[in-house]
Amino acid sequence: MLKLRTLLLSNYLYYSLTVIALIYSILITNFGVYKSKYNGNENEIIGYIHHFKIDGNHLQIELISDETIMVNYYFKTEIEKNNYQIKLGDIVLIKGEMKKPSSNRVFNLFNYQQYLYYQNIHYLFRAEKIVKIKDNYQLRYKIKQMIINRIEKNPNSSSYLKIFLLGNKDNLNSEVVNSYQTNGISHLLAISGLHVSFLAIAILYILKKIKVKELLRYLIIFLFLLLYLFLTDFTGSVLRATVFFILLSINKLFYFHIKTINILLLTLFLLLMINPFLIYDISFQFSFIISFYLILGQLLINKVSSYLGKLLVVSIIAFLASIPICSNYFFQVNLLSPLFNLLFVPYVTFILFPSAFLTFIFPFLDSIYIVLIKLMEFLSLWSSQIKVGILILAKPHYLLIISYYVIITIGLIKIDQNRYLYIILLIILLSYHVNINYFICDPYLVFIDVGQGDSILINLPYGKGTILVDTGGEVNYPKESWEQPQKTYSLGQDTIIPYLKSLGIKKIDYLILTHGHYDHLGEAKNIVFNFKVNYIVFNGVSITPIEINLINELKKIKSNILMVKAGDSINLNGYLFYILNPSLNFNPNDNSIVISTVLNQHKILLTGDITSTIEYKLINTYNLLKVDILKLGHHGSISSTGNIFLDTVNPKYGVISVGLNNRFNHPSPVIIEKLKQRNIKTFLTSKHGSIRFNCKENEVTIHTTIAYDNLGH
C-alpha cells in the first residue's frame, strides 16, 4: 500500500502517462486503424436517430447503424416539412445514395471530411426517402426528447436553453455567434468546467442541507454528471470537466493527496486512451489547455485578494493559453478579451447559466430570461465593433505553437523569477506572429477555389505587398421563407476572408476587379469592409451597371478607386504589374483587365474572361513569348484559349478557375485536349481545389488542396 501511495504521488507517473496518451492518440488517429464497415455503394440503411436538426428545407440526421452516418435530406414542400414527425431514438429506413464527405477546397480552412473522420464518421448519405419503422424504445433518448420538448415550450429563449442545458448551438443567430468569437468570449457558449463545477457544487450543497451522507452525496452527483454527459452528447469540454471532477472528488474522499495538476493529466490519459480522437476536438483542447494553465498559475491567482482582480488574472492566463488555439482555428485574437471576460464570465456563470435551469423548470420565466439574453447579445454586438484590439494571426506552424507554450509554461512556473524576461519573450513571439509576412522570402500566388468564378491572390516577399485579383461571387437564388436556412453561406465571409487571415494578411494594397460580372466582383464589398484596401482597381474603358453601383457604394466610404486601361502599370515596391487590356470593347468579358507580371523570373499572365479575339490582339501588340503560368480565359470556355495564342505564350502551367459540376459545362473538352496535346501541366480548381504557386528563384513549387497526378491533368 505504501509503494502504491508513493507511486500515486510521483509526478513522473503522470508525465509518463501523458506522453503515452499523446503518442497513442497521434498514432491511432493517423495510421488508418478506424475503417468504415460500408463499401460506399449502399442505397438503403436502417438505423436509429442519435441527433437531428432542421434548418430551412434541410434535415440533417446523425444516424447510428453499423456505424454512424450523417444523413442529409431536403424537404420538397412546406407541407412535408410541417408534417414531418421524427424523434430521437426512432428507427428509420433511409433510401438514397452514399458518398464520401468533401475535404477543404481552400488551404487552412475547415476540413469537413477530417472533422467527420475524427468522429469516426466515414460517409454522408443523400436521402431521397425516409421511412419510420419503429418508435424509440431507449430510455436515454426518451429522457432527452422530453427535455427538448419542454425547452421548446419556451419560444423566446429555447436556443440558449439548448446551449446551457444540452450544449447544442444549432439554433443560435450567426451574427451573434460571430460577435462572441470576435470578443474572445465564445467559450462561454460551451459547457465548461466552470459550469459543471457550479452545477455539481450547487447540488452537493442541497444534498448536504437535507443531510445526505458525504459518500452518497458524491455517488448521486457522479450519476447526475454521467446523465448530463449523455444529454450533452459527450461534448469534449463536458467530458473533460466531468471526469476531472469525479477524479478530484475521489482524491478528496480517499485522501490520496494527488496534486490537482496530476489529476488533470490523469484525466487526459484516461480520455485519450478511451477516445484518441478527442485530441482534435476544439472544445476539448480549449477546456484541457486552459484548465492546465489555470492550475499552473494558481500561485499567481492566489496572490490577488479581490474577486475582480482574481478574475482578471484568470482571464489573462486563459487568454494567453488560448492564443495558439485561436490562431490555429480562427486566425485572430482580441487583446481586449480579458476585459470583456470580466463582464461576461460572471454574467453567464452566475446569472444566465443558473437561470436557464430555472426557466426550464418554470417556463413562465421565459419572458424574463429573454431580456437577460438580449442584454448580453446587445453588449456583445456593440463591443465587437471595437476593432482596436484585434490581431490577425496566420495559421501557426507547430513549432510556433510549441514556442508559445514553452514560454507560457516556464513563465508561470518561474513567476517570481525573471517574470519580465518571459513577458518580453512572449511579446517578441507575438510580434513575429503578427508580422509573419515580413519573414516570407519568396512571392507566391494562389488561385482560390471560389467555385464558378475567379479569385487570385498575389503575395510579395518580406511584406512588400498584397494584390487580390477578383473576389468570386455566388448568386443566391431566392427561396421561400420556409426554405431559408438560419445561416446562409457567404463566399466572402466563410472562405476568402478567413483564408486571407490564415495567411496573416491584414491589408490589401490593390484589389483588382477585372470586369463587371458577379462571379468576379460579387464579394468586393465584403473584402473592403473587412480589410484595409489601399486601391480598388476597375477597368477604365467601359463599365457595367454592376460596377457603377459598386463604385457608388465604395465612394460613400471614401475608398480609393483607380481606373486602368491597356498600357498602364502598377508598381508595388519594385514589382511591376503591366495592364495589357482593356481597350475599347462593348463585351464585358473582352473588357477584362489582363495582367502580366514577373515573380522571381517566372512570367505570369492572368487573362480574366477574354475571348480568343482579344488573345489574338494581345499577341500582336505585346511580346508574350513563353510564359510560365497562364490563367486561361473564361473558365476554360470554347470561346477562349485559341491555338495561335496558346502556341505563342507556350505556358509551362495552365490554370482554369472553374466550378465543380457547373451549369455551363466548363471547361470545354476541346480546351482540355489542346492543353494535353501541348503537354501543358494543367490545374482545375474544380478538380484540384485551390492551387498555390511558390515562385522561388530557380523553380516553382506547387501545392493543391486536392491531390493531383504528375501531369496535373
Look at residue 338 in the predicted model and tell me its pLDDT: 93
Residue 485 has pLDDT above 90, yes or no: no
Beta bridge partners of 95: 44, 129
Same domain, 342 and 451: no
Mean pLDDT (whole number) for 24-35? 83
Mean pLDDT (whole number) for 167-193? 83
Same domain, 463 and 317: no
Look at residue 712 in the predicted model and tell me its pLDDT: 38
Residue 94 has pLDDT above 70, yes or no: yes
At 187, the pLDDT band (50, 70, 90 cuts) reads confident
Q: What is the pTM of this model?
A: 0.93
Same domain, 493 and 630: yes
pLDDT in tens, 637-685: 999 999 999 999 999 999 999 999 898 999 999 999 999 999 999 999 9
Look at residue 711 in the predicted model and tell me its pLDDT: 37
At 527, the pLDDT band (50, 70, 90 cuts) reads very high
At 414, the pLDDT band (50, 70, 90 cuts) reads confident
Last residue of a domain, one of 137, 171, 199: 137
Same domain, 321 and 240: yes
Same domain, 429 and 444: no
Please report, for residues 89, 143, 213, 537, the alpha-carbon distance to residue 133 in angstroms, rounded to integers and kept in the order given. 11, 21, 47, 60
> What CATH number is attached to the domain comprising 107?
2.40.50.140
Same domain, 445 and 422: no
Number of domains comprising the chain: 4
Whose cell is 460506399? That residue is 40
Name the maximum alpha-carbon separation found in the chain: 95
Same domain, 454 and 324: no
Please name the residues in contact with 135: beta carbons below 8 A apart, sequence gap of 6 or more.
87, 90, 91
pLDDT in tens, 200-259: 888 888 888 888 888 899 999 999 888 888 888 888 888 999 999 999 999 998 888 899
Does 31 reside within a domain? Answer: no
Nearest-angstrom CA–CA distance, 139 and 142: 5
Please name the residues in contact with 420: beta carbons below 8 A apart, sequence gap of 6 or more.
none
Does 546 reside within a domain? Answer: yes
Least confident segment among 106-115, 167-176, 302-311, 656-665: 167-176
At 1, the pLDDT band (50, 70, 90 cuts) reads low
pLDDT in tens, 293-314: 999 999 889 888 888 899 999 9
Does 118 reside within a domain? Answer: yes
Give Cα 625 distance to the centre of its chain: 42
- Grid coordinates of 406: 514553452
DSSP 494: I
Same domain, 498 and 362: no
Look at residue 233 in the predicted model and tell me its pLDDT: 85
Does 456 reside within a domain? Answer: yes
Instruction: Return the percentage of the chain with pLDDT > 90, whole number.
Output: 68
Residue 607 has pLDDT above 60, yes or no: yes
Look at residue 497 in the predicted model and tell me its pLDDT: 97
Please name the residues in contact with 683: beta carbons below 8 A apart, sequence gap of 6 or more.
447, 653, 654, 655, 656, 691, 702, 704, 708, 712
Look at residue 136 in the predicted model and tell me its pLDDT: 92
Instruction: Return the percentage of the chain with pLDDT > 70, whole number.
Output: 98
Mean pLDDT (whole number) for 456-482? 91
DSSP 514: -
Cis? peptide before 498, omega within 30° of 0: no
Exposure string for 110-149, b = 16+ CB within 10 A, e = fewer: ebeeebbbbeebbbbbebeebeeeeebeeeebeebbebbe
* Of 333, 332, 283, 291, the residue nearest 314 (C-alpha): 291
* Phi, psi angles (nearest 5°) of residue 459: -120, 125
- Label each residue of 131-185 as H, E or C: EEEECCCCHHHHHHHHHHHHHCCCCCCHHHHHHHHHCCCCCCCHHHHHHHHHHCC
Within 13 Å and on the Cβ side, how many CA atoms surround 290?
Answer: 25
Least confident segment among 29-38, 95-104, 493-502, 558-567: 29-38
Does 337 reside within a domain? Answer: yes
Does 154 reside within a domain? Answer: no
* Of 662, 667, 601, the residue nearest 631 (C-alpha): 667
> What CATH number is attached to the domain comprising 655?
3.60.15.10
* Phi, psi angles (nearest 5°) of residue 484: -70, 125
- Grid coordinates of 380: 456583445
Same domain, 607 and 667: yes
Same domain, 384 and 416: no
Domain that holds residue 58: 44-137
Nearest-angstrom CA–CA distance, 161 and 369: 10
Same domain, 414 and 468: no
Average pLDDT, the chain: 91
Look at residue 713 in the predicted model and tell me its pLDDT: 34
* Of 278, 205, 203, the residue nearest 243 (C-alpha): 278
Same domain, 325 and 186: yes
Look at residue 695 in the predicted model and tell me its pLDDT: 96
Please name the residues in contact with 650: beta carbons below 8 A apart, sequence gap of 6 or more.
625, 626, 627, 678
* Of 467, 464, 466, the residue nearest 574 (C-alpha): 464
pLDDT in tens, 248-275: 999 998 888 899 999 999 999 999 999 9
Q: Which helix (H) or strand (E) holds 706?
A: none
Look at residue 708 in the predicted model and tell me its pLDDT: 62
Does 317 reside within a domain? Answer: yes
Look at residue 710 in the predicted model and tell me its pLDDT: 39
DSSP 349: I
Q: How many residues would you count in the chain? A: 713
- Grid coordinates of 453: 468564378
Beta bridge partners of 533: 508
Which strands form 629-631's sheet, in the order they lie side by side?
Answer: 569-572, 575-581, 594-599, 602-606, 629-631, 653-656, 681-684
Does 387 reside within a domain? Answer: yes
pLDDT in tens, 360-370: 999 999 999 99
Q: How far apart are the first and last CA of the chain?
A: 68
Give Cα 56 distance to the centre of its chain: 22
Please report, for residues 111, 609, 710, the alpha-carbon distance to residue 704 in angstroms, rounded to integers and kept in the order given. 14, 23, 12
Whose cell is 488555439? That residue is 325
